[in-house]
Structure 1
Amino acid sequence: MTDPVPRLPPLLEAVLSVGTDLELRVTLQHIVDSAAELTGARYAALGVADPGLDGLVEICTAGPSDGGTAVADDSADDSLGVPIRVDDQEFGTLHLSDKEGGPFTAEDEQLLQLLATQAGIAIGNARLYETARQRERWIEGAAAVTTALLTGEAAADALMTVAERARVLADAAAGVILQATSEGGMEIVTASTLDDPGDIVGTTIEPGSPVLEQLLGGEPVFIEDSATDPRMTTPVRSRFGPSMMLPLQADGRLIGTLALPRRRGDRPYTSVERLLATQFASQAALALVLADAQHSRERLAVYEDRDRIARDLHDLVVQRLFATGMMLESTQRRGTGGEGDDVHDTLGHAVDELQSTIQEVRTAIFALQQPPADAPTTLRGKVLRETAGAAAVLGFQPSVHFTGPVENRVTEPVAGHLLAALRRKLAAASRRPGVSRIEVTVDATATLRDGRPGLRLTVYDDGAREDGEGPGTTVTWQSPL
C-alpha cells in the first residue's frame, strides 16, 4: 500500500527540529537545513528583511559539503522562494535553488509554506527568549555597576567601571565616556577597549560638530557606521562601525555620554539592545550621582571631625602651652646670678621648647584642615605633603615651622622651586646615618644679602656630618620674592 503523503514523516521531523532550540541563529539554521532536505534542493538561503532588527547581517545558507554558497534567484525555473512572517510582519524569505532530479513542484511549495509557518512561530519564540536573556544580562550588569559605585570608588575608577561593564554587555569594541569641555566641545575621558586605549583617551569633539548639540542636550544618538556618518568628526571614527551614544543623565544633570562603538562590519545594534543600553545608561548615571553624593557626605563628615579636633587643639592645648610659656618667661626674668644663671638657662630652654611645641600644634591644626582625598593647593599643604612622604622613609615625622605670610607672598614659580629643593634636602638627610630628627623651616620674612625680601628654606637634621665635626647638618635654600 502506497503512503498517500510520502513526505509527511520528514515534514513532521522538520517541524519538530526547528523548534527544538531557542537560540535564534541555531533556529534559522535548522529552518534552512530542513527546507533543503525536504525539497531536495542543493542550496537553501534565508534572506532577512530587516538585518538590524535581530542583529543578523548575514544570510544563513545550507548546501554542498564543499562549502559552496548559493545565489538564489526566484525568477529562475529551478528556484523557489517562500516568505516567512513573524507576528504578521515579514521576517525574510526562504530561497531554494538547484533541486536534484528536476524542477520544484507545487507539492514542494506547499511543504515549504507549512515549514515557513512553523518557522515563524519558532522564530517568535526564539526572539522572546533572546530578549529575556539580554534583559537579564543588562539588569544584572546595571546592578553590579551600582554596587561597585556605592562601595566608594574614586571618580575616575567609577567612570571606568561603567565603561567596562557596558562594553562587555553590548559586545562592543570599546566603551568610552565623553564629558563636556570648557571650550564647548566634548572629550573622551575614559576608555575601555580590548586593545590599548591610549590613542582614544583625550580625543575631542570640537565645537560645531553636527552631533555635539544632540549629545550636550542629553539626547541618544545611534550610528549605523561611524566611519562614514557625516555627523562623526573624531579621528578615531574610521576604525568603528555601528555605535550607540547614550546620555549619562540624572536629576537634570548631564554627567557625560556613554559611547559603545562596534568594529566596522560588525552586526548593527538591534532595537532591543538600544533600549536596554539606554536604560543601563540612565541607571548608571543615577548610581554615579548617588556615589558622588555619598562621597561628599563622607568627606563632610571627615571635615567636621577634623574641624572639631583642630578646635580642641587650639582651645585647650595651645592656650595652656601659651599660658605656661608666659609663666616661665616671668620666672626667667626674676632669676639672678649663681645658680640663678643655671635656672635662667634652663627656663630659657623650656620657653624655646614650648614655643616650638606651639608651632608644631599649629602645623598639626593646619594639616587637619586639608582635604583628606584631594591634593593640597596651598604652599603650606604642599610642604606638609612632602614631609609626610619623607616620614614613610624616615620612620618619623619631620617638624615643620612657617614664618610670615607664606601664602600671600610666595608666587607659584617660587613655590615650585622651593618644593623641589625641599625634596632634594629631605632625600639627602634620609641618607645620613643616625638621623632621628629633622626640622624644616619656611621663612617668608627673610632678607637676602643684597637687601631684597626673600624666601628661605632651612632643613636641619641631627645625623652624623660627613666632615666628622659633630652631629647635625643645616642646609638652606633661598630665593627673592
Structure 2
Amino acid sequence: MTDPVPRLPSLLEAVLSVGTDLELRATLQHIVDGAAELTGARCAALAMVDPKHEGLMEIRTAGLSATDRTPVGRTDDFLGVSIRVDDEVFGNLYLVDKPQGPFTDEDEQLLRVLATQAGIAIGNARLYETARQRERWIEGAAAVTNALLTGEAAADALMTVAERARILADASAGVILQPTDEGGMEIVTASTLDDPGDIVGTVIEPGSPVLEQLLGGQPVFVEDSATDPRMTTHVRHRFGPSMLLPLQTAGRLIGTLALPRHRGARPYTPVERLLATQFASQAAVALVLADARQHRERLAVLEDRDRIARDLHDLVVQRLFATGMMLESTQRRTGDEDVYDMLGRAVDELQSTVQEVRTAIFALQQPPADAPTTFRGKVLRETAGTAALLGFQPSARFTGAVESRITEPVAGHLLAALRRALAAASRRPGVRRVEVTVDATAVLPDGRPGVRLTVYDDGSAEAGAAGTTKTWQSPL
C-alpha cells in the first residue's frame, strides 16, 4: 500500500468541495466529481438507496451504466463505498475504469474519508432544503390567506388555493373536490398547466374505496393514480403520484385538495406530504374566514338596503298615499269639470308612483348576490338586464297577489313573452320609455280570472303614433 500523504492536498480539496453548496443535487454532483478526480477514475456514480425519498435520480459522470455496478467493495477495476447519513445508508458511491491501473487500498481509504465528509454535507443539504421547502409553503399559505381575505368570490377563492398548491407541490394539477348531495365528491375547481379539459365535473361516486376516507377528512396518498384500485374516476389514468388532502377546520369539511403529478413523475417525499397537509389546513381556515367576511359584508348591505326600504315605505309611500287621499277628497268636492279631470289625473299619477316605489322597495329587499326565486323578482331581473341595452331602467308595476296567484307554468310563459317584448323594444329606434305591467286581477273576455302582461314602449310615438304595446294573458 502506498503512502496516502502525497495525495492529502487532493483529498482536502475534494472534502472542501463537497461542502461548498447547500443545494442537495449540487452537493451530490460535487461528491461524484470529487471522487473521480481524487482516485483518477474515468467514471463515477452515486446511486441512492431510496431515490423517491429525496425525489432524486442517481448522479453520475458519463460512461457508467447500471451493469457496471456491484455491491460495495473493491476489485481491480471497481471500487464502491457506502455513504451514511445519520446512521442510515443514503446511497452507494461507485468508481470504475481507472486508466493508471487497478484500484488500490489507498484509493479505498481516500474514498471512505470522502464518503464520511459527504454524509455530513448531505445531512446539511437536507436540512437546508427542508428549511427552504417550509419557507416556500409558509409563504404560499400566507399569500393564499391574504388573497382570500381581500374580497375574492367563492369560486375565485377555491381557484386561488388550487393554483398556489399546484405550484408549491410541483404538481401537474391542483383540484378542489366538494361533497355532493348524492354522497359522492365532485371536482369543482381545477388548475392545470394546460387546458383542464373534462377534469371539472368529474365525480367520485358513492361506494368508491377512497371516498370514505375523503369524507371522513383523512389524507390519502397514492403512489400511482392510474393503477391504484382505490382511484375510480375516468381521469385517473392521466396521473401518477398524488395527494388528496382534507380542507377541514373545527370539524367542518369544506372539501378535498388533490395534487396529482403526471405519470412517471417522482413520488412525494414525507416532507412534501407533511407541508402540503399543513398548507391544506391553513387554506381551510382562510376559506372559512373569507366566507364569514363575505357573509358579514352581505349582511351589512342587506341591513342598509332594508333600512332604505323601510324609510321609503314609512315616509315616501305613506306621504304619497295621504296626498292622493287629499286629492281624491278635493276632487269629490269640486264642481269644475276641468279641475275634476285634472285632479283625477294627478291621483292616477300618484297611484302609479306608489306602485313604482313599492317595486323599488321589493327590489331593495332581495339578496343582491342571489338569483331571484319569486316571480316579481324574476320580472325585475329581466327589466334590469334590458336596461343595459336601452340605456335606462324600464318601469315595472304589479297589481294583485302575483306571488300567490300565478302558477309556475304560467310564470314561465309570462317571462318568455316578457323577454321577447323587451328584446323587440331594445331594437326599436327612438325608445325612451318602457313600461311593464303585470295585472293578476285581470278578467279575461270569457269572464274567467286571469293574469295580463303588458309591455309598452314609446318607440313610435315621435311619428305621431301612441307607441307600441304588447299584451299577453292567461287564465289563473
Amino-acid identity (%): 81
Residue of 450, 453, 473 corresponding to 1:478: 473
RMSD: 1.9
Contact 2:4 2:106 in 1 (8 A): no
| Separation of aligned partners in 1, 2:29 and 2:140 | 30
Aligned in 2, Cα 1:4/1:273: closer, same or farther, shift over 3 Å?
A: closer
Which of 435, 438, 445 is residue 439 of structure 1 equivalent to?
A: 435
Question: Quick one: which amino acid aligns to residue 437 of structure 1?
Answer: R
Q: Deviations over 1:262-302 (max 9, x none)?
A: 01111111111111111111111000000000111111111
Supply the distance in 2 between the matched residues of 1:122 and 1:261 (Cα, whole angstroms): 32
Stretch moving more, 429-438 or 113-122: 429-438
Q: Is the CA contact (8 Å cut-off) linking 1:442 and 1:458 kept in structure 2?
A: yes
More deviation, 116-125/417-426? 417-426
Counterpart residue number, 2:301: 302
Which residue identity lines up with residue 340 of structure 2 in the other structure? H
- Of 66, 69, 72, 2:69 maps to 72
Deviation of residue 450 (structure 1)?
A: 4.5
CA distance in 1, matches of 2:202, 2:229: 17
What is the 5 A alignment of 1:257-336? Answer: 257-336=256-335
Aligned to 1:41: 41
- Distance in 2 (CA, whole Å) between partners of 1:126 and 1:372 is 55
* Paired position in structure 1 for 2:221: 222
State how far apart, in whole Å, the 1-side matches of 2:67 and 2:448 are.
92
**Aligned amino acid, residue 195 of structure 1:** D
Tell me how far 1:197 sits from its aligned partner.
1.1
Secondary structure of the 1:17 match is: helix
1:453 shift after superposition = 4.0
What is the rounded CA distance, in whole Å, between the counterparts of 2:438 and 2:413 in structure 1? 13
**What one-letter code is carried by the residue in structure 1 that aligns with 2:70?**
D
Q: Give per-residue Cα distances to partners, 1:103-156, cap 9 Å, x unaligned.
A: 322111111111111111111111111111111111111111111101111111
TM-score, scaled to structure 1? 0.94
Matched, 1:408 2:404: yes
What residue identity is the alignment partner of 1:52? K
Task: Quote the residue 2:88 is aligned against.
Answer: 89
Q: 2:345 aligns with which of 349, 361, 375?
A: 349
| CA distance 1:81–1:4, change in 2 (3 Å) | closer
State the partner residue of 1:399. 395
| Matches of 1:68 and 1:82, distance apart in 2 | 17
Which structure 2 residue ranges, 5 or more long, are not aligned?
A: none
In the TM superposition, what whole-angstrom CA distance separates every residue of 1:431-468 from its partner, at most 9, and x where no partner exists?
333322211011223344455443321101122169x5
Aligned partners of 2:215 and 2:199: how far apart in 1?
A: 20
Are the aligned partners of 2:356 and 2:395 in contact in 1 as well (CA < 8 Å)?
A: yes
Equivalent residue letter for 1:314: H
> Distance in 2 between the 1:3 and 1:94 partners?
23
Match of residue 427 from structure 1: 423
Given that 1:73 and 1:97 are in contact with CA atoms closer than 8 Å, whether structure 2 keeps it comes out as no
- The residue matched to 2:165 in structure 1 has which SS? helix
Residue type at the aligned position of 1:72: R
SS at match of 1:41: coil
Structure 1 counterpart SS, 2:467 = strand
How much has 1:195 moved relative to structure 2?
Answer: 1.1
Q: Alpha-carbon deviations, 1:239-267, whole Å to 9, x = none?
A: 11111111001121100000000011111
Q: Which residue of 2 aligns with 1:460?
A: 456
Q: In the superposition, relative to structure 1, how do residues 168 and 4 fare at CA in structure 2: closer, same or farther (>3 Å)?
A: closer
Amino acid at match of 1:323: A
**More deviation in 45-54 or 207-216?**
45-54
3-state SS of 1:471 partner? coil
Does the Cα contact within 8 Å between 1:63 and 1:70 map onto a contact in 2? no
Q: Hey, what does 1:192 align to over in structure 2?
A: 191
Report the Cα distance in structure 2 between the residues aligned to 1:412 and 1:273, rounded to whole angstroms. Answer: 54
CA contact (8 A) 1:435 1:462 kept: yes
Change (3 A) 1:16 1:347: same
Contact 2:52 2:268 in 1 (8 A): yes
TM superposition shift of 1:45: 1.6
Secondary structure class of the residue paired with 2:442: strand
| Structure 2 SS opposite 1:198 | coil
Q: Residues 413 and 122 (structure 1 numbering): CA distance in 2 closer, same or farther, change over 3 Å?
A: farther
1:165 aligns with 2:161: no
Contact 1:443/1:457 (<8 A) preserved: yes
